[in-house]
Chains A and B, each alone.
Chain A
Amino acid sequence: MADTISEYESKLPLHIIKEVRDNAPKGLSDAKLRKVMETIYEEYKGARVHPGEAVGLIAAESIGEPGTQMTLNTFHFAGVAEMNVTLGLPRIIEILDGRKDLENPMMEIYLKKPYATGKKIEELRHLALQIKETRLKDISTELTINIADLTIELKLNKEKMREIDVTNSKVIDAISKQLKGYTIRDNKDSLTLKSRSKEDTFNEAYKAKEKVKDVTIKGIKGIRQVLPVKRDEEFVIITSGSNLADVLQLEEVDAYRTTTNNIFEIEQVLGIEAARQTIVNEITKVIEDQGLNVDVRHIMLVADTMCVSGTVKGITRYGVVSEKSSVLARASFETPIKHIINAALVGEVDNLDSVVENVMVNQPVPIGTGLPSLAVKAPQKSKEK
């Protein structure tokens, strides 16, 4: 039985094979199984896209048309306190453009078994605090420069510090790690920073003051908000701000399921295949959120084109479009003169292989009925005629 199925392994996708393996009744005869496999194979062949089908264009239209019905609301409070989510068309544009700085980066942090149950609320709170970034300016009440001896004085908010469980020595540690070249004196309610270099000027002190403000005292850099949410039977931490690499380092975090909506972070941490899947997931999420329905395969095709080169490329003139081989196709998208002149400089040849170019010169487009051509070459006419 296993043999018959494995024969089809090169012909059918793995998940179909698996489905057959899981569901085939035990006593199935070989001949019957072969018949089943043959039927599946025929069905599968019938479901494939025909040669010359305008897949890309259909995908574009299939995403673009419902896109016209999407709300143009940039910000939408998704019921979560103090957390903004970019939805609708702006988010789709953000994903497809392959932007690196998102308007609202977010993470969904799943936790390992003992922490996820949420039975120990105290532990969860502790974890959340460990993730949320606290900067020096959040725990200080006053930051001043003493002009006379060029020291920076900062008053600490003791109450806040107790709340997030930080002591003076921890603060000093953090500052000395992230801001080199300063000696720090602990005055209990305040700290005094003095430069070790002798050529300290007011300007230097001012710059240092601005830097000190943003020193991370506790938590993970970039995580601005933390919100534990109960999802089904477990607790998930949703964050505003994203830092996948550092969050995955935490012991309590379930690295298999934790995600971010920042495609570039996924690409850097988990690789291009994960990034591709994230693009599909994120687009699907937005479209479903709007109550629209688009076949995943269209979205998958878009994600594929964005990722084929090995890095995530946006659908812009700097990204996917710049990869097109045809000069005319590129010129017809944006900045035509730039493309034409650059093509002239290197002597580019356009073979008129794709749709736009052929529409331009009014020739049949190589799609559908325009695709087939004669396999046998007709004998060339003699030159005298």
Chain B
Amino acid sequence: MAEVYLNSKYVGTVDNPIEFVQKIREERRRGAVSNNLNVYYNEKADEVQLECSKGRTRRPLIVVKDGAPLLTEKHIKQLEKNEISWLDLVNQGVIEYLDAAEEENMLVAFFENELTPEHTHLEIASLVMLGYCTSLVPYGNFNQSTRLNAGSKNQKQALGLYASNFPVRMDMDVNLLHYSQKPVVNTIMHDISDYDKHPAGQNMIVAIMSYKGYNMEDAIILNKGSIDRGLGRSTYFRPAIAEELRYAGGLIDQICIPDKDVKGYKTEKDYRFLEDDGIIYPEAKVKEGDVVIGKTSPPRFLSSMEEYSLASSTRRESSVNLKHGEEGVVDFVLLTENEEGNKLIQVRIRDERVPEIGDKFTSRHGQKGIVGLIVPQSDMPFTASGIVPDLIFSPHGIPSRMTISHLIEMLAGKVGALAGRYINGTTFDAEPEERLRKELLSLGFRESGVETMYNGQTGEQYQAVIFIGNMYYLKLKHMVANKIHSRARGPIQLLTRQPTEGRAKEGGLRLGEMEKDTFVAHGASMLLKERFDSDKTIVPVCESCGIIAIKDNYKNKSYCPVCGENVEISEIEISYAFKLMLDEFKSLGVYPKLQLESKY
């Protein structure tokens, strides 16, 4: 007697669990029971688990009966002729979806020739062991698994045609690659997933060589000519959003060009792009500080003083403007209403991104790199037939990482480009390298893929032959334009008077604890002091009680809050953070007394 559970809830018992489970499976294959149902008999616990809840991971397998797969040549022919579809096979019970639990009861063969009468299922293809992104790596079976992981991770960050209705979408922080292409070397997953409808990269001519050391440590070199022709060009979309919020007391935000007497009014120049409705017009070229949506808000606190002053001037300026370092062109303006019925304005700003030094590119084999130099086409090396690479990749990236697939893709890409066909590079099921080499030879090239090349600047022939080919490169979303940051002077925090933190706030770059140690270790005491005086202040100190005194600049008088005016008060230079700490000591009930001494 075994207990039966449906979606982990007890429903009853059965006398013969094995027969019961068998019956359910047969009915499911027949189509009498939904194929969403999975059943698992746990022999140890003697219980039957029926599952039809959502969120289970399931995978398809070919059903095997008496050591022979149910999928026959007939099915395959019908599939080829498009007479039946995948769903028909599932409905016929030829293919079955199993969840993790039911799989425990089954014996799955990897290949058809390994089938024995004990086997219940057969794998559809070796490729199913890989995930979606990993299956997109061509010749993946030539790689170390870590590289395959890195390769699939990189692909997720690639820029491409993310949605074909992008002109009418209001996406946050998205990129769009111009002229995205379908890869010459593809896998079956590219066909399955309609990759040509949303490609995310470009086929580039890649040479594996060094170029003046500008591709050391994974850097890559790009051809300026290729960039000018549109290689790696993308657009970055960023929205500006404003909402007319309602406040207590019937007050409301107003989207308009702010009046000059509004509190916090910027300058007339900052509002110059706004139309009468307070919103910017499309195709306006905006730079940092420019107002995109003009807005005023009611005053935060109604103090008694302000109530008597001019009523209109109490409104606050709260426009949306471009932050530090941002620029672009207004692309699209949307006026709508949000869930609460407030007026909502969204403005999409577009910014064209031409590849520059520091932008990140990668092949599909975890060989990511950063642009180290952009070389004019005239200075790029060229082959005997006049081919100039789009990208130069460093040979040092290969030995330690052992990404053989990277090399094979270059070879395959070369063959594909020359022969004018797509090459199937599906992992475990690719066009063999041998055949590609032979074809390359018949196309009039050296079988190994190497070519004699010439120095673009001097015209001299290089002593070494250079491996050059065609491969699919991806531009990744990490671009310098989004990350570059520097500061000399800038905003400080209110509490500590130290510089703000982070790029968005135009913050300082911290000289941290360990960096401090290097100064101390060098004995560069004065330099250290200078580095740390971002928050230095001059503080008057009462010499008799040692507490921080008060300096009245109006009366030009200093006095001590404890001892009064008739005491010696000296001014000292300390960091504001220390003054703050002394204040905290006082709040603890500890009396921090400063004893001053002449420094000299």
Contact = CB atoms under 8 A, between A and B. Distances in A.
A134 to B, nearest CB: 43
A365 B530 CA distance: 11
B521 A58 contact: yes
Contacts of B568: 383
Contacts, number: 80
Q: Which of A53, A349, A364 has the most CB of B within 10 A?
A: A364
A53 B536 CA distance: 27
Contact of A360 (B520, B526, B578): B578
A271 interface: no
Given A360-B581, A378-B600, A365 B591 contact: no
A2 B578 CA distance: 60
Given A360-B575, A362-B536, A380-B598, A368 B516 contact: no
A275 B581 CA distance: 41
B276 to A, nearest CB: 53
Contact of B600 (A60, A359, A365, A377): A377
Interface string A14-37: 000000000000000000000000
A358 to B, nearest CB: 8
B399 interface: no
Contact of B578 (A349, A362, A364): A362
B533 interface: yes
Interface in A33-67: 52-54, 57-58, 60-61
A370 interface: yes
Interface string B492-529: 00000000000000000000000011001111111011
Interface in B581-596: 581, 585, 588-591, 595
B593 to A, nearest CB: 9
Interface in B548-592: 568, 573-575, 577-578, 581, 585, 588-591
A367 interface: yes
A57 B521 contact: yes
A360 B575 CA distance: 7
B523 A337 contact: no
Interface in A359-385: 359-371, 373-374, 377-378, 380, 383
Contact of B523 (A54, A360, A363, A380): A54
Interface in B466-499: none
A367 B516 CA distance: 13
A53 B521 CA distance: 7
Interface residues of A, number: 33
Contacts of A370: 523, 525-526, 529
A341 B585 CA distance: 9
Contact of B529 (A343, A364, A374): A364
B532 A359 contact: yes
A344 interface: yes
Contacts of A343: 590
B523 A362 contact: no
A383 B543 CA distance: 13
Contacts of A57: 517, 520-521
B590 A369 contact: no
Interface string B293-310: 000000000000000000
B520 A54 contact: yes
Contacts of B536: 362
A134 B526 CA distance: 65
B595 A344 contact: no
A369 B526 contact: yes
A296 interface: no
A367 B526 contact: no
Interface string A341-356: 1011000010000010
Contact of A362 (B524, B533, B591, B595): B533
A57 B522 CA distance: 10
A307 to B, nearest CB: 24
Nearest to A52: B523
A54 B521 contact: yes
A369 B520 contact: no
A362 B575 contact: yes
A366 B533 CA distance: 17
Interface residues of B, number: 30
A269 interface: no
A368 B525 contact: yes
A306 to B, nearest CB: 21
A57 B520 CA distance: 8
A219 to B, nearest CB: 47
Contacts of B591: 344
Interface string B280-323: 00000000000000000000000000000000000000000000
A362 B496 CA distance: 14
A366 B523 CA distance: 9
Contact of B526 (A54, A364, A378, A380): A364
A72 interface: no
A365 B517 contact: no
A340 interface: yes
Contacts of B577: 360
B595 A363 contact: no
Contact of B525 (A364, A377, A378): A364
Contacts of A380: 598
B595 A349 contact: yes
B575 A368 contact: no
Contacts of A373: 600
Nearest to A349: B595
A380 B597 CA distance: 11
Residue of A52, A359, A371 with most chain B CB atoms under a 10 A cut-off? A359
A61 B517 contact: yes
Given A362-B532, A362-B533, A362-B575, A340 B523 contact: no
A372 to B, nearest CB: 10
A363 B529 CA distance: 6
A365 B523 CA distance: 9
Contacts of A344: 585, 589-591
B405 to A, nearest CB: 32
Contacts of B581: 360
B575 A361 contact: yes
Contact of B528 (A340, A360, A365): A365
Given A359-B516, A360-B581, A362-B532, A369 B525 contact: yes
Contacts of B522: 368
Given A359-B532, A369-B525, A374 B585 contact: no
Interface string A62-83: 0000000000000000000000
A370 B536 CA distance: 18
Contacts of B598: 378, 380
Interface of A: 52-54, 57-58, 60-61, 337, 340-341, 343-344, 349, 355, 359-371, 373-374, 377-378, 380, 383
Given A362-B529, A370-B523, 12 more contacts: A53-B523, A341-B590, A344-B591, A364-B525, A364-B529, A365-B529, A367-B520, A368-B522, A370-B529, A371-B525, A374-B600, A378-B598
29 contacts: A57-B520, A340-B590, A341-B588, A341-B590, A344-B591, A349-B595, A359-B532, A360-B577, A360-B581, A361-B578, A362-B529, A362-B532, A362-B533, A362-B536, A362-B573, A362-B574, A362-B578, A363-B574, A364-B529, A365-B525, A365-B529, A366-B525, A368-B520, A368-B522, A368-B523, A369-B524, A370-B526, A378-B600, A380-B598
